[in-house]
């Protein structure tokens, strides 16, 4: 079903050697696609097809293959760099996860703050929820290394918010590194509200990331008392780096789905417990 094709492809002699060189190989095309996406951050399917001189179907196939390798993200109409948008999805999932528990914990922890206090707040979804409860307080001075906490409190004129410096750790929107730790060095506040990734009676608070661990230690060191906010999914689990030893934890705020034996152990070590009921 074709008239004599008058189209002159750029593909030329291929009969001579099996070691042909002119035809555009699939791997080369995919490499170019990847370069284009990396260069622009987001490229439409049509542009890609035009750029590599192939049909949209072919590009679509390539994109599917590249996506399965995790090299890019595919969307309606084109492709984007991985991570830029998928991060939000991951974070969104975390927010909705145990949202009710986090809220109850935040409520309970709010009772540990009084007007006129100076406190430190670490990063995390639970502490962010906790920060929301603070807007009703007056004359608070809050130090934090979390951009999300800072933004939550930004609109409250009666709360003074100070951010530590430091390099931004994208996935959690928190400041880490030596600059962050140093800016906390000369500080002394009443209480620190921290929420790590794991908490056991033996090793205390822990987190899987070295940099985050460093700042968490600095946050705890700046406060007279350390308050740990941890929902039941974190109680009893241990992650890589220890940040706050058990005897340095003064309060633990959690929910009643946390394992009892761990709570008892912690209580025996002098940690005051605040358990949110459902």
Residues making contact with DNA (CB under 7 A)? 1-2, 5, 7, 9, 14-16, 18, 20, 23-26, 29, 44-46, 53-58, 60-61, 64, 74-78
Q: Does 34 bind a copy of itself (CB under 8 A)?
A: yes
Which residues face 142 on adjacent strands? 119, 161
Whether the Cβ atoms of residue 228 and residue 194 lie closer than 8 Å to each other = yes
Burial 250-275 (b: 16+ CB within 10 A, else e): bbbbbbeebeeebbebbeeeebeebb
Q: Pick one of a copy of itself, DNA, none as the site partner of residue 209 (Cβ within 5 to 8 A by kind).
A: none
Q: Kindly indicate which of the ranges 71-79, 193-201, 203-211, 228-236 contains the residues binding a copy of itself, using the contact rule CB under 8 A.
A: 71-79
With a CB cutoff of 8 Å and minimum separation 6, the contacts of 223 are: 119, 120, 188, 189, 190, 191, 192
Whether the Cβ atoms of residue 150 and residue 163 lie closer than 8 Å to each other = yes
Write down the least CB distance from residue 238 to a copy of itself, Å.
28
Q: Pick one of DNA, a copy of itself, none as the site partner of residue 54 (Cβ within 5 to 8 A by kind).
A: DNA
The secondary structure of residue 24, as a DSSP letter, is P
- 90 φ/ψ angles, rounded to the nearest 5 degrees: -65, -40
Q: Which is nearer to a copy of itself, 43 or 266 (CB)?
A: 43
Q: Pick one of a copy of itself, DNA, none as the site partner of residue 275 (Cβ within 5 to 8 A by kind).
A: none
Q: Does 18 bind a copy of itself (CB under 8 A)?
A: yes
Write down the least CB distance from residue 77 to DNA, Å.
4
Q: Which is nearer to a copy of itself, 70 or 277 (CB)?
A: 70
């Amino acid at each position: 079903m074709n008239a004599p094709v008058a189209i002159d492809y750029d593909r030329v002699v291929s009969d001579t050697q099996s070691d042909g060189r002119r035809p555009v190989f699939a791997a080369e095309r995919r490499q170019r696609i990847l370069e284009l996406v990396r260069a622009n951050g987001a490229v439409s399917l049509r542009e890609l097809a035009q750029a590599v001189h192939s049909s949209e179907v072919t590009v679509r196939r390539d994109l599917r293959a590249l996506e399965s390798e995790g090299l890019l993200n595919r969307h309606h109409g084109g492709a984007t760099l991985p991570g830029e948008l998928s991060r939000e999805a991951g974070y969104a999932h975390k927010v909705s996860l145990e949202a009710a528990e986090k809220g109850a914990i935040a409520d309970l922890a709010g009772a540990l703050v009084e007007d006129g206090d100076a406190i430190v707040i670490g990063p995390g979804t639970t502490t962010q929820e906790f920060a929301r409860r603070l807007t009703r307080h007056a004359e608070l001075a809050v130090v934090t290394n979390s951009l999300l906490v800072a933004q939550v409190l930004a609109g409250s004129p009666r709360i003074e918010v100070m951010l530590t410096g430091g390099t931004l750790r994208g996935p959690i929107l928190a400041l880490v590194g030596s600059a962050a730790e140093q800016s906390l060095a000369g500080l002394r506040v009443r209480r620190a509200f921290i929420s790590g990734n794991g908490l056991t009676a033996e090793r205390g608070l822990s987190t899987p990331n070295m940099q985050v661990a460093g700042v968490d230690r600095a946050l705890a060191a700046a406060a007279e008392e350390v308050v740990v906010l941890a929902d039941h999914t974190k109680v009893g689990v241990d992650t890589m780096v220890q940040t706050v030893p058990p005897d340095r934890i003064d309060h633990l705020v959690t929910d009643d789905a946390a394992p009892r034996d761990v709570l008892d152990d912690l209580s025996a070590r002098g940690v005051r417990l605040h358990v949110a009921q459902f």
